[in-house]
Chains A and B, each alone.
Chain A
Amino acid sequence: MPVFDLATTPLRDLNQALHGVAAGANDTAFEVLNPRGQHAVAVGIDGPVTVTVRGSVGYYCAGMNDGGIVTVQGSAGPGVAQNMMAGTVVIEGDASQYAGATGRGGLLVIKGNAASRCGISMKGIDIVVHGSIGHMSAFMGQSGSLVVLGDAGEALGDSLYEAKLFVRGSVKSLGADCIEKPMRPEHLEHLALLLDRAGVTDARPEEFRRYGSARQLYSFNIDNADAY
């Protein structure tokens, strides 16, 4: 198992090694020591590698991940797993703002809380937060699912397109054009699958409420001027 101690090894070496893993390689499990809040740890992974980061990271950890499995045994700074394409990213602590921003695929699991704008502009990623999320989460969310076992802050799902939002706790307020929607059997089934993929065993789909787009802002309408 390749081990990179970022206290003594440049970050560049780690990312270059991750990008250099050939298809079909055997040695695909990486360990990262002493990240000490460094930015851009394990970014641009483009294959099925496994990375275990022992400590907390700064901005954009696992950014643009495309197939890797990244576990952070600590907390993550802003933009963790931004624009993820595929794979899994697990944050065992808390995540700062913009977690999973613009993600197009894969699964992001945050075992603590996530700050504001979690899932902003999400485009297909699935995000499961064990704790609570901050304000303006899923802003302009286009597709994918955001599952929150705790509470959601103000203006959840503002200007939402077709992302699906599931919250077990309270929602401080909904953003423009975001409404509560009925939980139908297909949603319960979808949510059960997500909870299972994220390893959640202490929550049942029936405990959640579903939120989505009212689709009132999809087309320009002069009577909606106060919402634009």
Chain B
Amino acid sequence: MRHYKIRFYVLASFLFLFPALLLVLQSLSKTWRFQRGEGIRFQLDSFQVLLSDPNLWSATGWSITIGLLVLLINLVVGITTGKALTSLSFRGKSFIEAVMLAPILVPVLAIAIGLHLFMIRIGLADTALGVVLIHLVPTVPYSIKIFQNAYQQLGRSMLDQPVILGSNPWHQLVTIELPLMKPAIRSVTFLTIVISLSQYAITSIVGGGTIITLPMVFFPFLDTANASIMAAFSVWFAMIPFFLYMIVEALLWLLPYSKKMRRTTT
């Protein structure tokens, strides 16, 4: 047991932690030329460029607001549909399941124009609500899948029992389903926020510049040969889902039984 733990930590640190730290280090130093015998030359200019961008803070704010709204809708759509797909068996279910997954199978470039037309027609182009709706396209299918799998693991009996005992659906959701599906909620939170945060093309098209999110400030810098600025942006970028995840994790503690379960497991 101990053995595999050590192996895990060594491997995980090397493969996952080290590259992230590398980016942090690059963001704090000038272009590396070790082979020429140059050492690490520290600098903070890259973060200065970052912080001097007048759009940075408002973009961060928009990204967080949109991310949280997208997450909320994802939880609603994911839980309802996940439950429906688990509790119902019907002819053509395979077809419905495939269609539910379709939005993430179709290349974004292909549907972007159609989505923009759609948004103009319902009058939501260039608005924050439009951006939130458009961010559902690459996120909701994941949430549906994750919750469907979670409900399947709960088993149908677990879902039928409270109904037989006369519980109302809302009560059943809060006291039984949500606490038991915490791993699924975590996955959905993480995935939804990360995906919403990194949407560039559809945000810029539908947000139309009225809504400036982080990638819109960040992506143009892909064209820079200045590695430090690139790295500084990446680090800033990664902090946001990290903190949002922490917040959601804290909220999960408020669900029934959380404290007790924690105490018994630790």
A is bound by B: no
The interface of chain A, by Cβ under 8 A from chain B, is none
Interface residue ranges, B against A (CB under 8 Å): none
